[in-house]
Structures are given as structure tokens and as C-alpha cells.
Structure 1
């Protein structure tokens, strides 16, 4: 954009989803109601800005429940936790608020229900991701992780009742390819009535599929630990468009935009809009003169808060979401 007439196209939708919005609000309401500190197991969502903002307000992020003092208030992150973590939290007597995304909880409920009917499971997901650990931790055995198509042939179920579940933030296309292999090798596998990949992941990937062919470079706002943000960058590259993921405006490099007329901009589901706006401001400094929103799906999904934290109102929307 060296000739100072570049255009920025904004993907729609982008940024916060309902599950992230709810999780952050749970921590902020708990801080207001019970005072600091509030303990949170794992990063509430995978975004450095959000985590640091909540730390400043009094949240303490931990991985081991042994680091939480007796009688403390504890929040489970949006990614969900294993059954063992729930049991330990109850035994330690913490006041617990569960910020697990309801779409992840849906997967946990499905696993518990079908396990009682004698099913084993193939879980499509990324090893080590907290959501995968939480879902696989609903059972002590009989759940097999596959990360790619070659992994599927390694699955050796003990019986003939097999179901498949999916991490909610995967690449839609990658998950479809793995699922096709699962169905080829296990023709009678039971699929969820509704796919596990969440609406927000699907919508943001669909928006990038529209955006990427129209621009010279795609910028994804998101943290390196964010699965859905990484998938957006990978998708743009797969479509043949150069793509970079940044945590904020400070990560942008002017060389990425030299000679480029049109920049595409999106954000992962855990990235707040304040970071997107800062990136836009920086792109203006690099020569962008036109900012245009693309058409896309309008999301109106809202999830209720846990009991004990009150009801939502517009006056309650916190600063960190703007």
C-alpha cells in the first residue's frame, strides 16, 4: 500500500462468539460479586489481551487445582474440563462457576449418554488442546483420538458400537476429510445429529473462503494458542492467499503490504474487537484509505449465564468486549 490508496476488506462475521462472550462475562461478574481474586482453571479463552485484562481486574489463572486456596471461587474455562477435574473441585469445596461453552458441553453430554449405551468413541481433534483433554476426560477408556486421516486406521475398537465426536474449533474441511475416512473404515459409526464444529468456527471459515480470493493478503487477529484463529490463517493460505496471524497492531510489518492494494482482515472467535480496530488504525498508517465490511451471516446466538451470577443487560457489557 505504498501509494497510499489501499483498501481493507473486513470479514463478516469475525471476532467474539457467544461462548467466548459468556465465559468472559462469567469471570467479570464473579469478580464484581465475590471480589478479587477469582481463580480460573486454564486461560478463560485463548487470547493474551483478554487474559491480561482479566488478570488486571483480579483473576488468577491456574492449571493445577492444588494452587487454589480452600473456599475460593473457581471458574472453569470455556474449553471444558475432564470429569476428574470436576470431582477434585467438588472434593476441595470450591464455589465453582462453569464457563464451558454450551456447544462443548453438548459434546460432553453426548459422550456420557452414548457411553452408557455401550458405545466407544473416535474423537477428531488436536492432541493437548484443553477442549480435547476435557472431552476425552469424560471417560476413563474407550475414546480414541485421531488428528489426521492416517490416524484413523490405527483405531482398534473393542466392540462394534462406535460413535464419532469432534473438537468444536477444527478446520471444517479437514474434519470432513477425517470423518469420511472414519465412515469408510467404520461404516456403521454413529455421527452426532448436528455436527460438533461450532457455528462460529464454521461462519468465520466460510467468511474467509469469500474474503481470501478478493484480497492480496489476509490478516488474522488472534493468539498463537487459539485453535480457531490458526485455522483461519491456514485456510487463507490453502486458498492461495498470503496470510499472517497477529496478536495486535504491534505485530504488523509494513513489508507485508508493499505493493498490495487490498488487505483482508478477520479475527478469531476469542479476539476482541478493540484489537481489530487497532489493526485498522495501523493499516491506515500504512496507506489504507478505504475500510469496507463484507456481507456475511449475522450471528444472534446468546447463552444464559450460570445461576448465581444474575441476568444479562446491555448495561453489563464490559469494556474488554469493545
Structure 2
């Protein structure tokens, strides 16, 4: 069996930073460290950090007074920030810098007197955080069909921002629908859309044309992992989203001479290697990787974790 790996795949810089923040906080302050929401959407990552002393909660009320608190990579609303400050919780903010950039863009558009359209998935923690970061009139739109239902006049000054786990391709139809309906619309340059999301989707499209079966390693609650699976299926190749090697089913492999593997931005490379090992136990495998974009982006850690004399508060 030939195994071809997508390039790039797996962890993005925002996820690396978020995980590093929790691990370094544990080293500096000791266990337990409390994290609001899963630091990233991957059970293996969460379990690994739990074993080191991280405690994951959904509400700040579950955190003892004075405990070091980490906000997840998805970001939080201003209400959550205010609640943490009101309780005096020392906070380390692991919000992905690209998500923080969306927050800043939204606030800037509101300051210009524009109504903001957020393109994203209702209920996703990043979307909830972004909605709570933009003080003004904001409408959430999930697809092009929802644009027609917006209760806004055609000449209303608008601006759009997007959930970072959506790519240029994912948002194109919605943006085109907005442009057809509204006469005064602005938005960020497409270069501002999350590089990791676009790169992984481009890579999986390339990979799908070369394999008989495509496996996407990622969590069921990971937006970007689900989208990778959808793209693979759209290319006409059998494509399955699996959390780990244990989820492999032998019947998927019947007749498959070439298997492609990619991973969502919150899935560690160790899970990919586990899947390769599981396939290797079924028979001889030959592993190669597609040429692709090599990501060399990195994001700075909070000053509290790199400056010895700094306090834990961000």
C-alpha cells in the first residue's frame, strides 16, 4: 500500500502557541492550571494536558479564586474578559493572533459607522467570542442563502469579517452574495484569512486526485477538520474523518492501493504517525509526502511566560 501525506497538515502556529502557553504555565506556576473551554478541539491534546495538570472548564465560575486561567485559542467575549477581571483571575490569553486580528477588524469597522457581517458557523466558540468582542450591530451569516434574509437596506454601509477556520473558498459565495445585494460593502483582504485553513484545504484537494482513499485525522468538533473531510468527499474520493488510529475500519481499505492522509490544524502529528503504524500492521507500506507549502510562521508567547519577573496576568 502506498501512503501519501498532505503538506501542510496538522498543527498550525496558533495551535502550537496555545498548547505551549498551557505547558509553560504548568511549568512556571505548577498544577492545576485552569483552561476555559478545550484549548484546541482535539481530545488527544486535551488528555495530554490534563495528565500534566490542566483542568478544562466551560465557565469561569468553576475556577477557584486566584487560580491561573488560560483562555483557549478560539478567543472569548468581552463579557468573559470582564468576569475574569472582576474575579481577579490571573489570565494568560491563548487566543490565536489571527482571531484577535478579526476582533480588531470588527471593532474598527464599527468605529467607522458600519454594520458588521460575521461569516461563520453559529455556536462555534470562535464565533461566540467574536460576536462578544464587537460592540455594535453585528449579524451572523452562515451561507449565501442567509444573505437574502438580512433585515438591512441595500445602501446600508456594511463590512464583513470571517471565522478564521473558513478559507477563501469557503467564504467566496457568501461574499459574492453580499456584494450583489449591498452597494456599500468593504472587508479584509483575502490575505488576512487564516493561512493555515487555506493551505490545508488546498493540499487536500491536490491529494484527493492522487489516492483511492482519503483519511482526515481530526476531532468531530473541529470545524477545519470537518471541512477537510467535506472537501475530500467533494473531490469524489471516499473520505473519512477519524479521531485516531483506533477508528480505522478494515472495510474502507478494500481495493485501496493508495491512501492519502491529512490532519486538521488542531491534530498533532503523533496521531498521523499512529495511523501510518496501524496501516503498516495490515501489510507493507510505502510512505511519501506531497510537495507543498512549508509553513514557517510562529507567534509570540505572552510576556508573563517569557519574562521571569512578569506576573501571570496578561
TM-score w.r.t. the length of structure 2 is 0.95
Is 1:259 the counterpart of 2:255? The answer is yes
Is 1:67 the counterpart of 2:55? The answer is no
Q: Which runs of 5+ in 1 are unaligned?
A: 1-5, 312-322
State the SS of the aligned residue for 1:170.
coil
1:305 aligned residue: 301
State the SS of the aligned residue for 1:295.
coil
The structural deviation recorded for 1:247 is 0.7
Task: Give the Cα–Cα distance (whole angstroms) in 1 for the partners of residues 170 and 265 of structure 2.
Answer: 19
1:219 aligned residue: 215
Deviates more, 1:288-297 or 1:11-20: 288-297
Q: After superposition, what is the alpha-carbon deviation per residue over 1:136-164, rounded to whole angstroms, capped at 9, x for unaligned?
A: 11135411011111101111237722100
Is 1:149 the counterpart of 2:144? The answer is yes
Is 1:103 the counterpart of 2:108? The answer is no
- Moved beyond 4 Å, runs of 4+: none
- Match 2:84 to one of 80, 89, 93: 89
Q: After superposition, what is the alpha-carbon deviation per residue over 1:34-70, rounded to whole angstroms, capped at 9, x for unaligned?
A: 1111110100000000001111111111111111111
Task: Give the Cα–Cα distance (whole angstroms) in 2 for the partners of residues 120 and 225 of structure 1.
Answer: 30
Is 1:32 the counterpart of 2:27? The answer is yes
Is 1:21 the counterpart of 2:21? The answer is no
State the SS of the aligned residue for 1:210.
helix
Distance 1:288 1:224, change over 3 A: farther
| C-alpha contact (below 8 Å) 2:110/2:135 kept by paired residues | no
Task: Give the Cα–Cα distance (whole angstroms) in 1 for the partners of residues 134 and 66 of structure 2.
Answer: 28
1:56 aligned residue: 51
Task: Give the Cα–Cα distance (whole angstroms) in 1 for the partners of residues 190 and 3 of structure 2.
Answer: 35
Task: Give the Cα–Cα distance (whole angstroms) in 2 for the partners of residues 230 and 221 of structure 1.
Answer: 10
Task: Give the Cα–Cα distance (whole angstroms) in 2 for the partners of residues 113 and 178 of structure 1.
Answer: 21
Task: Give the Cα–Cα distance (whole angstroms) in 1 for the partners of residues 143 and 85 of structure 2.
Answer: 36
| C-alpha contact (below 8 Å) 2:168/2:190 kept by paired residues | no
State the SS of the aligned residue for 1:40.
strand
Task: Give the Cα–Cα distance (whole angstroms) in 1 for the partners of residues 206 and 40 of structure 2.
Answer: 26
1:272 aligned residue: 268
| C-alpha contact (below 8 Å) 2:107/2:135 kept by paired residues | no
| C-alpha contact (below 8 Å) 2:65/2:88 kept by paired residues | yes
The structural deviation recorded for 1:284 is 1.1
1:319 aligned residue: none
The structural deviation recorded for 1:173 is 2.2
1:208 aligned residue: 204
Q: CA RMSD in A?
A: 1.3
The structural deviation recorded for 1:196 is 4.5
Is 1:241 the counterpart of 2:237? The answer is yes
Task: Give the Cα–Cα distance (whole angstroms) in 1 for the partners of residues 87 and 276 of structure 2.
Answer: 46
Task: Give the Cα–Cα distance (whole angstroms) in 2 for the partners of residues 193 and 9 of structure 1.
Answer: 33
